[in-house]
């Protein structure tokens, strides 16, 4: 097949823009021999259970799915009765970027709480954690957090434990959207279970696509008592892959060794380099009028730009507005972002400001 795109084009719009890591491609090719039983009864999905148990504990059970929205919808649906509601930050992906799927497909009411940094606290949870027994109110039964958050910030294990304890004491469960969970592990320099299983998380979505996979995420049940019917809900929600071995093989490639960490450490380092380059430009006067709107803790940089600069800069490097009214933008780095990409981006920003 003829290549249909310019492989030299680089950008900072999303870690979904990157290609597939060569080791993941090799894993797919290795799994592509002979016949294997369909719908998850294959050797790769069986091995995946062992790999997830190594990272999250013996009780962990993984259900591979196609994408992150599917993981969140299926996982949350398994945690809730029909009358249940989820408390989440207003910036949460389940509230903003999933086309209403949790509400339209899963029938889940999202009770969103405004936050400045994308993180919930027990005090913020309590703004919506009320009304149990009131037949006129959707019952708040799950708290959902994102790690790392949609604003690129991180929860510490202690912060997650505090949320878990707070939720559990009120009869609620804790869900974690881990679309960028590997970036969090790399930034915190902690095992995955340290801020999930050991911190009281009941169920999570494990992201692979943003960290070098072609496609594929997993719903990971950490507390079996927190989830019901996943075996049926995955199919019901059109997230059951017939050739599941190819999804599982990708996640094995990421997690069996340290590829998930290598990729995440690199993308985090490129975000740090980008921020440092802009800061250096601000210090020496080659860049003007740029401010940072969030700390850079993982692989995303959030900044505000002078009027008109974003559109000019996008002529060379694609990226997204985060809040156009404030001239706030988001720059995301990927496992394949290079130092040359970052330096060229900073140089173009300097030219325009």
- Residues 6 or more apart from 177 whose CB is under 8 A from it? 68, 72, 92, 93, 94, 144, 145, 146, 147, 204, 205
Domains along the chain with CATH numbers: 22-256 (3.40.640.10), 260-352 (3.90.1150.10)
CA 140 to chain centre: 23
Structure confidence at residue 8 (pLDDT): 87
Query: Facing residues of 328 across strands?
Result: 304, 323
Distance of CA 329 to the CA centre of its chain: 18
- Taking Cα atoms as reference points, which of 54, 59, 101 lies closest to residue 226? 59
Note the pLDDT tens digit of each residue in 256-265.
Answer: 999 999 999 9
Contact 216, 247 (CB under 8 A): yes
CB 207 within 8 A of CB 182: yes
**Residue 53 pLDDT more than 90?**
yes
CB 44 within 8 A of CB 248: yes
Q: Average the pLDDT over 131-159 and give the result.
A: 98
Total-model pTM? 0.97
Q: Where are the alpha helices (DSSP H) in the chain?
A: 22-31, 43-56, 68-79, 93-96, 101-104, 122-125, 157-169, 181-188, 230-236, 245-255, 259-284, 309-313, 339-352
Q: What is the C-alpha to C-alpha distance for residues 262 and 12, in angstroms, rounded to an integer?
A: 19
Q: pLDDT (tens digit, 9 = 90+) per residue, 267-317? A: 999 999 999 999 999 999 999 999 999 999 999 999 999 999 999 999 999
Which DSSP state fits 142?
E
Q: Is the pLDDT of residue 118 over 90?
A: yes
Q: Which two tokens stand for residue 264?
A: 């995440």
What is residue 36's predicted lDDT score, i.e. its pLDDT? 97
Separation of CA 92 from chain center: 10
- Of all residues in the chain, what percent carry a pLDDT higher than 90? 98
- The tokens describing 106, both together, are 């899963």
Kindly report which listed range (6-10, 30-34, 241-245, 344-348) carries the lowest average pLDDT score. 6-10
- When the pLDDT of each residue in the chain is averaged and rounded to a whole number, the result is 97
């Amino acid at each position: 097949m003829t290549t249909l795109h310019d492989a030299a084009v680089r950008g900072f719009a999303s870690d979904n823009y990157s290609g597939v890591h060569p080791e993941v491609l090799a894993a797919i090719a290795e799994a592509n021999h002979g016949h294997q039983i369909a719908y998850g009864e294959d050797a790769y999905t069986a091995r995946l259970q062992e790999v997830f148990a190594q990272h999250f504990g013996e009780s962990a059970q993984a259900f591979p799915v196609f994408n992150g929205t599917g993981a969140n919808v299926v996982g949350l649906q398994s945690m809730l009765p029909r009358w249940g509601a989820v408390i989440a930050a207003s910036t949460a992906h389940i509230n903003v970027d999933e086309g209403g799927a949790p509400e339209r497909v899963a029938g889940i009411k999202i009770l969103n709480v405004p936050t400045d940094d994308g993180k919930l606290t027990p005090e913020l949870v309590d703004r919506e954690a009320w009304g149990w027994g009131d037949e006129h109110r959707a019952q708040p039964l799950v708290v959902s957090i994102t790690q790392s958050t949609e604003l690129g910030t991180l929860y510490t294990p202690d912060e997650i434990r505090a949320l878990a304890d707070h939720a559990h004491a009120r009869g609620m469960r804790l869900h974690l959207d881990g679309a960028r969970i590997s970036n969090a592990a790399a930034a915190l320099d902690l095992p995955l279970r340290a801020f999930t299983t050991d911190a009281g998380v009941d169920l999570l979505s494990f992201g692979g696509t943003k960290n070098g996979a072609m496609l594929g995420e997993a719903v990971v049940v950490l507390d079996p008592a927190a989830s019901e019917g996943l075996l049926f809900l995955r199919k019901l929600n059109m997230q059951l892959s017939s050739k599941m071995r190819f999804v599982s093989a990708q996640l094995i490639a990421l997690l069996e060794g340290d590829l998930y960490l290598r990729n995440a450490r690199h993308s985090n380092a490129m975000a740090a380099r980008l921020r440092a380059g802009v800061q250096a430009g601000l210090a020496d006067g080659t860049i003007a009028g740029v401010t940072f709107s969030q700390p850079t803790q993982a692989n995303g940089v959030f900044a505000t730009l002078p009027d008109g600069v974003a559109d000019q800069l996008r002529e060379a490097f694609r990226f997204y507005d985060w809040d156009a009214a404030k001239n706030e933008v988001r720059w995301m780095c990927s496992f394949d972002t290079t130092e040359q990409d970052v330096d060229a981006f900073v140089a173009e920003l300097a030219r325009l400001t």
